Amino acid sequence: MARNGSFHTSFPLNGSTPPPDSRSSALPAPLRIPTAVIMLLMIAVGFLGNAIVCLLVYQKPAMRSAINLLLGTLAFSDILLSLFCLPFAAVTLITGTWNFGAPYCRISATLYWFFVLEGVAVLLIISVDRFLIIVRHQDRLTPRRAEALIAGSWALSFCISCPSLAGWAFVEVPARAPQCVLGYTELPANRAYAVTLVAAVFFVPFAIMLYTYLCILNTARRNVVRIRHDRPLSRRGPDGLTGPRRPRRTAVDVSFKTRAFVTILILFVGFSFCWLPHTVFSLLSVFSQSFYYGSSFYATGTYTLGLSYLKSVFNPVIYCWRIKKFREACVEFLPSTFRIAPGVPGRTRRRIHPSTIYVCGEHQSAV
């Protein structure tokens, strides 16, 4: 235990020796307070926004489709991340020291990777499901299979993250960073685990999702071109007269699928934007001694960690921006004193379709 309350693993055990000037200074006070306020706002938005998603999925029977169960799990993992990891990072950022003891150092690191891995696994399942529906025309995801995939993703995420709790990774907290992060080590086993961890969190899911979205984009482009060049053909009716043939049903659904793909693409871009900097930061921390012991390490860690936490508030904001019925459902959960517009009578209110949260409907799988 260091003087400032930070937890340090013995450097000789990790095959490295710190240079004389091995401490990174905390953020200056003019930057520390605004950054902490932003983190507190992220906690509030992330908790409330994802809580609404969970309530929509689990309180409304019509919402319990396979894809919405996955989205509810994604929101639940973001809630846990906002409650069990982000507040401690905000407090540490304000005080400049780790005040939660050495044991919780490794626990916080394990929980951080655990919840992040679960959220990434759900996004990966959704991407593969959309790929099978739009590209392969195979709608195989049922609620029962979704529940099995959710249980398997939780188990796999725990298996990948728990070695850090057992000491397979070198982790350290302030003054090195605003929360427990991967530290520099020269041991091959620790480096191998760090590479496996960041690959499971970002590189492997990113490669698979990029491939699926490129295939979806290519399929949508080919279908749009085919529909545009598909002219109505004449047909002979019962009376012997000829008339235009009825257009294919796929043409009706093109605009819907275009909006759906744009929303999916925005979620993928948000995932990449929020997690690429932190992935690079983690790799540099483990492999680059000059970077880890540099004077800019604390500031870089603060901003990359904050950007990674931004992912927990990104999805609800996108839902409110892109999906009108999600906004209407959010209004239903507001107390009547906070509503600006009067409520719509129950018998005139349209029933919420199971695909209100996720814009691709379960029964609209053909592009």
pLDDT in tens, 304-352: 988 899 888 888 888 778 767 677 777 776 665 455 555 544 444 445 4
Instruction: Give the whole-angstrom CA distance, residue 21 versus residue 309.
Output: 30
DSSP string, 5-49: S-----TGGGT----SS--PPPPPHHHHHHHHHHHHHHHHHHHHH
**Residue-wise pLDDT tens digits, 33-70:** 787 788 888 888 889 888 888 888 877 776 778 888 88
Give the pLDDT band of residue 94 (cuts 50, 70, 90).
confident
H helices of 99-241, in order, are 103-134, 143-165, 188-198, 204-228
Residues 8 and 102 sit within 8 Å (Cβ to Cβ): no
pLDDT at 117: 94
What count of residues does the chain have?
367
Instruction: Give the whole-angstrom CA distance, residue 139 versus residue 129.
Output: 8
Instruction: Give the whole-angstrom CA distance, residue 367 versus residue 226.
Output: 11
Q: Which residue has the higher pLDDT, 25 or 75?
A: 75
Q: Which residue has the higher pLDDT, 43 or 2?
A: 43
* Ranges of each domain in the chain: 28-229+248-337
Residues 75 and 53 sit within 8 Å (Cβ to Cβ): yes
pLDDT at 352: 46
Q: What is the CATH number of domain 28-229+248-337?
A: 1.20.1070.10
Instruction: Give the whole-angstrom CA distance, residue 221 versus residue 328.
Output: 32
Instruction: Give the whole-angstrom CA distance, residue 69 versus residue 77.
Output: 12
How large is the angle between the packed helices 204-228 and 254-287, nearest 10 degrees?
A: 160
Query: Residue 179: helix, strand or coil by DSSP?
Result: coil
pLDDT at 278: 92
Instruction: Give the whole-angstrom CA distance, residue 247 versus residue 63.
Output: 32
Question: How many Cα neighbours within 13 Å face the side chain of 148?
Answer: 5
Phi, psi of 171 (to 5 degrees): -125, 150
